[in-house]
A = this chain, B = another copy of it.
Amino acid sequence: MKTSARNQFFGKITAVNVGAVNAEVAVGLKGGQSIVAAITKESVEKLGVKVGGDAVALVKAPQVIVVMDDAGYRLSARNQLSGTVSRIHKGAVNSDVIIDLGGGETVAATITNDSLEALGLAEGQTAMAVFKAGSVILGVAA
């Protein structure tokens, strides 16, 4: 699969919760974490989404927030993945931050340099990659 989405999580579908209009689909990764995608009920049927099937969860790096300290706030985002900052690539305005989730999985987040400095983000630190289920595009193997 060749896409520009920096985050392409391949795994097996572990849960499909179909509501009145939308559905939440969980894709289990090798490292034990899961990615939750919100898609329409119609897409569940059209794509033939079912537990055990091979899938890929696509998430663009600009849609991922890096959280260092939640200060006791609980976040509404369905995807909150903990890991270690393994690489920071700094540009003129934005930086690319890679968080290692373990199990060979990484998450890329594009953040502004202002945020990078405000957070005092450095390689080796613990951080959380946060994104909404609605930011995830699901791909299902034919």
Q: Which of A's residues lie within 8 Å of B, judged by CB?
A: 1-6, 19-22, 37, 39-40, 43, 46-47, 55-56, 58, 60-63, 65-78, 89-97, 108-112, 114-116, 118-119, 121, 130, 132, 134, 137-142
Contact = CB atoms under 8 A, between A and B. Distances in A.
Q: How many copies does the complex hold?
A: 3
A68 B95 CA distance: 25
A91 B70 CA distance: 30
Given A22-B21, A76-B139, A91-B94, A1 B62 contact: no
Nearest to A97: B4
A83 to B, nearest CB: 14
B3 A67 contact: yes
26 contacts: A1-B69, A1-B70, A2-B71, A3-B66, A4-B119, A5-B65, A6-B114, A43-B78, A46-B74, A47-B74, A47-B76, A55-B73, A70-B139, A72-B141, A73-B139, A73-B140, A73-B141, A74-B139, A76-B139, A76-B140, A77-B137, A89-B114, A91-B93, A93-B94, A93-B95, A132-B134
Contacts of A63: 60, 62-63
Contacts of A67: 2-4
B92 A4 contact: no
